[in-house]
Structure 1
């Protein structure tokens, strides 16, 4: 656990230095200046997540347009930032920190929408929290952002230097995904599972949560290994270890890179009857198109449902989206739309104090039974959503395709 915490702490220190922050003691006035407010968005607009991120940004823009660009007397502006390195398209902690610093130092900022990945949120959240600004993420499922359950050392406290909670997410977090994985195992008739993680500090807690939930569901956990999943790694030893246990399924918490692809193919080649279960971070066509015959045994959990699984309001919103932006939007457009909408609703409920950052934070955390394009939900005191449906994707023709929804209650 100490190694995990050191890794995460170093990430924030490096990012803060790259952004010129020096420390994270950015303090912001409680009240945004005047009647002009700004909502910032920080998402990866380049690289492998660019399409999803652009759909979210378009959803955010549409929600603000639907509100007429204002809440009562308060005009609301929108600033969209890219948290990816422009030269590589990959997440850049320094760029993320610079985005957060820009928003934190803007006296008109009332809310910050982002980030998509948990790694990026771990960088921006301490900066945005220190400024006393509401942060709403459409993704970022890492458990340590909201809870100490199987999280790293000093988590989640170290993400909140102000000592107050200012962060909420719309996507159900790691505990929900772990519950969905255990429910999926039961639905598939699995009696035993082998758990593997790739040593990523943002994935290790999910593996532990899945192990615990599987045991509670009466599923035997044949083993749990943390394995370095690097390109060029030979996995024969790990595959043999799993094979000897007779496990009916293997759950993997990790990324979708070349090492994961090689591991997937190796295990399926040796034990084709073993079901291969993966986390939402693996829902990527780059992964699913490269795993070959293992696709037939693969099940990936995801917070994204089929569009028909959402309320009628979602269908209307998506039709508006097509008229404004064209294309065929996916479910993440709904997450972007709701991220903006719930913030505007918090400003509206704050009434005469709609330009007061703390009042808007309190209003957001008072969200109860909100009817939205994602479904009805509330925000809990720790910032978690009560949305309780999780999706499962299979692989068809090399692409992740929605298979079923699991209600985790």
Structure 2
């Protein structure tokens, strides 16, 4: 009897152990197909904080919109577009990231870059492979249209296949240029100096502001590409004289120096800055930005408007991710979520082909149609890749913090000669 009792106990122990997750028992295998969403943003340099917060928003969108999907599982890969030891996005790394995504048959969309220059590098690579690219913050005119503010060959050099594969979830710089001039006139500036850093973004926006100022009757006293490393830099900056000074460029130490030196040469001038410079590295002395005294003279134009005008989900993102300590630090968070939302929505509306995303159908779904976003509201993607999203806000700097001042109404840009057919 004792032997039988012991044997029964051993059998019972084995059965219980097996039922409690023994090594031979595995959870059910996930048989869904895997599809991949990529993003590429700089994890080093002045955009690192915004990049991380935009990536968090994208992860949130992936979870929100794919958690009940039974056919496929979304794999999100967040790549760093900065080089080791670098101070911002790197053209070589941005190109390699784009190539990596194109070589993966499970890729259905690519979100990036934050900077217009990085987007310009990745775009032709992704276009050649037929991958939908979405940018949350690249506003350079030449990415989608030609004419004033665009370089030779733009935008066609970015689309070697002839098909538009870029969607940007912010307005292009044509509107921002017109708005900047109207803002300067509204602040009783009787003259304007326009400086830029020579980048795709800075040079293009500087050209647009100069054009709009001429068309709207605001005298421009100086236009220059200024870079602190140039021998002529000091003479250029100290010769600037205007009631208002506008500087267009990417954030970083060079931008801080140019803004500071131009303001010192014009102690009574107001400083106007564009959306790309809504960044802690510009506004906050603790992050290497301008002084608090100079900050009081600065007005910024941002592509993020009045938070109260966004849908409830958009207001939540602005409050929880875009704003830190009462300061706007990541204006691209809302558009980053919307980019993932659009890509995932089009993926769900198309069928997988032998288990892989139908990239062509996803592009056809995204471009040229009306969409509804729970963070942006309703908008339309034009055939050239621009959207009808055109919200702007005026911001000020107070003790290093970037604070919303008021909603701005974007004026209609002055008609200008454009290269080729800009179908809308």
TM-score bracket relative to the smaller structure: 0.7 to 0.9
The correspondence of residues 6-405 of structure 1 with structure 2, limited to 5 A, is 35-69=33-67, 73-150=71-148, 151-230=150-229, 235-240=234-239, 242-243=240-241, 247-288=242-283, 289=285, 290-292=289-291, 293-305=293-305, 307-316=307-316, 330-350=330-350, 355-368=357-370, 370-405=372-407
Residues 237 and 210 (structure 1), Cα distance of their counterparts in 2 relative to 1, 3 Å cut: closer
Residues 265 and 303 (structure 1), Cα distance of their counterparts in 2 relative to 1, 3 Å cut: same
- Contact 2:39 2:110 (C-alpha < 8 Å) held by counterparts: yes
CA distance in 1, matches of 2:171, 2:92: 27
CA distance in 2, matches of 1:77, 1:132: 19
Residues 337 and 122 (structure 1), Cα distance of their counterparts in 2 relative to 1, 3 Å cut: same
CA distance in 1, matches of 2:114, 2:360: 24
Q: TM-score, normalised by structure 2?
A: 0.78
Residues 394 and 159 (structure 1), Cα distance of their counterparts in 2 relative to 1, 3 Å cut: same
Shift of residue 141, structure 1, vs aligned partner = 1.4
Q: RMSD of aligned C-alpha atoms?
A: 2.8
Deviations along 1:93-145, whole A, 9 cap, x unmatched? 22222211111011111111111111211111111111011111111111111
CA distance in 2, matches of 1:212, 1:142: 15
CA distance in 1, matches of 2:73, 2:217: 54
Residues 170 and 82 (structure 1), Cα distance of their counterparts in 2 relative to 1, 3 Å cut: same
| 3-state DSSP of counterpart to 1:112 | strand
Shift of residue 66, structure 1, vs aligned partner = 0.9
CA distance in 2, matches of 1:83, 1:268: 32
Shift of residue 318, structure 1, vs aligned partner = 6.4
| 3-state DSSP of counterpart to 1:78 | strand
1:407 — aligned with what? 409
Shift of residue 232, structure 1, vs aligned partner = 8.7
CA distance in 2, matches of 1:397, 1:231: 31
Residues 366 and 98 (structure 1), Cα distance of their counterparts in 2 relative to 1, 3 Å cut: same
- Contact 1:236 1:266 (C-alpha < 8 Å) held by counterparts: no
| 3-state DSSP of counterpart to 1:301 | strand
Q: How many residues align?
A: 367
| 3-state DSSP of counterpart to 2:370 | coil
| 3-state DSSP of counterpart to 1:67 | helix
CA distance in 1, matches of 2:331, 2:156: 31
Structure 1 runs not aligned, ≥5 long: 1-33, 323-327
CA distance in 2, matches of 1:64, 1:126: 26
CA distance in 1, matches of 2:49, 2:306: 17
Residues 255 and 38 (structure 1), Cα distance of their counterparts in 2 relative to 1, 3 Å cut: closer
Shift of residue 203, structure 1, vs aligned partner = 1.4
CA distance in 2, matches of 1:38, 1:218: 50
Q: TM-score, normalised by structure 1?
A: 0.81
Shift of residue 357, structure 1, vs aligned partner = 0.9
- Contact 1:112 1:134 (C-alpha < 8 Å) held by counterparts: yes
1:24 — aligned with what? none
Shift of residue 236, structure 1, vs aligned partner = 4.7
2:27 — aligned with what? none
- Contact 1:232 1:259 (C-alpha < 8 Å) held by counterparts: no
| 3-state DSSP of counterpart to 1:385 | coil
CA distance in 2, matches of 1:224, 1:237: 10
Shift of residue 351, structure 1, vs aligned partner = 5.5
- Contact 2:367 2:385 (C-alpha < 8 Å) held by counterparts: yes
